[in-house]
Amino acid sequence: MEISGKREFDLLKKIGFVRMAGTEQEKQAAEILMEEVRSIGLEPVCEEFEIEDADITAAQLEILRPYSKTYTVTAYKLSENTPAEGLTAPFYYAENMTDADMANAEGKIILVNGFLSLDLYRKIVKSKAAAFITMSGNMLETEENSDLFTRTLRSTMREFGNMPAANIRMTDAFDIVKNGATMAKLTVVNTPKKLTSRNVIATVKGTEKPDEVITFGAHFDSVEFSTGVYDNGAGSVINMEIMRHFVNNPPKRTVRFCWFGSEEIGLEGSKAFVRDHEEELKKDVYMINVDVAGSVIGYDIARVVATAAATSHADAFMKRKGYAVDVKQDIYSSDSIPFADKGVPAINFIRFGHQIGGAFIHCRNDVIDYLSPESLERTTKFILDYSDEVINSAVMPIDRTVPPEMVEKVDKYLNKKALEEARKDKK
Ligand SMILES: [Zn+2]
């Protein structure tokens, strides 16, 4: 049966609504995917898992000196609460938290640049700041054409400590720094709660080597404010089309399809999957992950979390077939990470774009207008062609091993060393 970009695009439109981790909408998207799996002739399995979340009841920043103004902020979910009436403290713009900034932050409400990496967070904790504020967005945004995101202080971060935290628009941060704020009052109140998220799984049994399993993965959740069609409704529908092919053309090896929930909050779906199927994973020989695709303007890449030989094999395949795919050995921030962490080698297919070329992620601009059936179909065809080569090989062409140079990158990505240090410090 032919691959149909149009059919993929139609399914993508059906799931093209905001579907945040653990929400009713994420569940609804899972049901649409399960219905599609059934229509192709397989019985899907839905596996639930628990995630952390919080209800925010207050979030506000007031500058008290040398001028007086109230700014909209969002609270970091699961950060510590301020008193209900707010926390008043000196205000300090700590930029990138150099040693000089760290020495000057104690007891203050600090503002830091940009993205909260674990490294930056550790410095903030160490500085004994009273609370911190991150900024997001850019100076060209207006309140009408952009959204202020609610961040979460993930469990990995909380291992190092906790304090009240908020996120502010870049334009407001600019205003505050330009006007030389020195005293502020921050109010952050939130209540932790648990939500249920889910993975959808369907399996096509191998005809000759049923005990060798290849998993296709794609996350189907989105972030706040985003219809998540590029990231990653596209990968979800690509895998559905590939599943349709293997149902109609039974593979030699077993092929498992996983649509993961809660990827956007820290790969929670794939982490739950490898945790709940640890024993079964011994049969897993390879993982094929698709995360972001379908953009009209863009370029296709493959990142191989396997041996250099497996990378060369994939690269040679693409070149021989004349597919325009840049293949390199590297990790990629997506659901292949937990598999690689359990020793299952993987390949990630990604159609990158340009932030101003319509390939928007994690914002309200990730919409179907910038994607096309033709783009989806082209990417699906080379992923299927490559996968078919691997899945139906007489002998598995990829060693079932994650080499040390990739293990090192996976461990770093998962902050293993830093977490070990944090746990040692607690003892
Ligand atoms: Zn994604």
CATH number of the CATH domain containing 146: 3.50.30.30
Burial 263-296 (b: 16+ CB within 10 A, else e): bbbebbbbbbbbeebeeebebbbbbbbbbbbbbe
Q: What is the CATH number of the domain that holds 243?
A: 3.40.630.10
Q: Is 244 strand, coil or helix?
A: helix
**Residue 317 belongs to what H/E stretch?**
helix 308-321
Shared domain check, 408 and 327:
yes
CA of 216 from ligand 1 middle (Å) equals 15
Shared domain check, 245 and 138:
no
CA of 350 from ligand 1 middle (Å) equals 9
CA of 187 from ligand 1 middle (Å) equals 32
Shared domain check, 27 and 96:
no
Query: What mean pLDDT is predicted for residues 288-293?
Result: 98
CA of 74 from ligand 1 middle (Å) equals 23
pLDDT at 265 over 70: yes
CA of 337 from ligand 1 middle (Å) equals 13
Establish if 58 belongs to a structural domain.
Answer: no
Shared domain check, 38 and 162:
no
Indicate the residue among 146, 181, 216 that finishes a domain: 181
Residue partners of 373: CB distance under 8 A and separation at least 6: 5, 6, 8, 9
Shared domain check, 91 and 152:
yes
pLDDT in tens, 177-236: 999 999 999 999 999 999 999 999 999 999 999 999 999 999 999 999 999 999 999 999
Shared domain check, 119 and 28:
no
Distance CA 181, CA 92 (A): 8
Nearest CA to 229 out of 382, 40, 10, 4 is that of 10
Give the count of domains, the chain: 2
CA of 232 from ligand 1 middle (Å) equals 5
Shared domain check, 208 and 83:
no
Phi/psi of residue 149, each to 5°? Answer: -80, 145
pLDDT in tens, 74-126: 999 999 999 999 999 999 999 999 999 999 999 999 999 978 999 999 999 99
Establish if 189 belongs to a structural domain.
Answer: no
Lowest mean pLDDT among 16-25, 305-314, 355-364, 397-406: 355-364
Residues 18, 24, 26, 32, CA torsion sign: negative
pLDDT at 355 over 70: no
Indicate the residue among 181, 211, 229 that finishes a domain: 181
Shared domain check, 133 and 280:
no
Residues 123, 127, 133, 139, CA torsion sign: negative
Indicate the residue among 129, 150, 181 that finishes a domain: 181
Q: Using pLDDT thresholds of 50, 70 and 90, give the confidence band for residue 339.
A: very high
Position 209 scores a pLDDT of 98
CA of 202 from ligand 1 middle (Å) equals 20
C-alpha pair distances (Å), 233 with each of 65, 73, 138, 227: 47, 29, 26, 8
Phi/psi of residue 89, each to 5°? Answer: -160, 160
Position 114 scores a pLDDT of 78
CA of 178 from ligand 1 middle (Å) equals 35
Position 309 scores a pLDDT of 98
CA of 420 from ligand 1 middle (Å) equals 28
Nearest CA to 228 out of 74, 359, 423, 418 is that of 359
Question: Using an 8 Å Cβ cutoff, are 133 and 91 in contact?
Answer: no
Shared domain check, 230 and 360:
yes
Establish if 156 belongs to a structural domain.
Answer: yes
Nearest CA to 53 out of 19, 23, 74, 78 is that of 78
Examine residue 66 and say whether the peptide bond preceding it is cis (omega within 30 degrees of 0): yes
- What value does the mean pLDDT of the chain take? 97
CA of 235 from ligand 1 middle (Å) equals 9
Q: Name 217's bridge partners.
A: 258, 289
CA of 12 from ligand 1 middle (Å) equals 15
CA of 256 from ligand 1 middle (Å) equals 20
CA of 198 from ligand 1 middle (Å) equals 16
Shared domain check, 79 and 215:
no
Instruction: Provide the domain limits for residue 177.
Output: 67-181
CA of 128 from ligand 1 middle (Å) equals 34
**Residue 71 belongs to what H/E stretch?**
strand 69-75
Shared domain check, 236 and 355:
yes
Provide, rounded to the nearest whole percent, the portion of the chain with pLDDT above 70. 99
Establish if 418 belongs to a structural domain.
Answer: no
Distance CA 47, CA 355 (A): 34
Provide, rounded to the nearest whole percent, the portion of the chain with pLDDT above 90. 96
Shared domain check, 172 and 203:
no
CA of 13 from ligand 1 middle (Å) equals 17
Q: What is the pTM of this model?
A: 0.97
pLDDT in tens, 141-192: 999 999 999 999 999 999 999 999 999 999 999 999 999 999 999 999 999 9
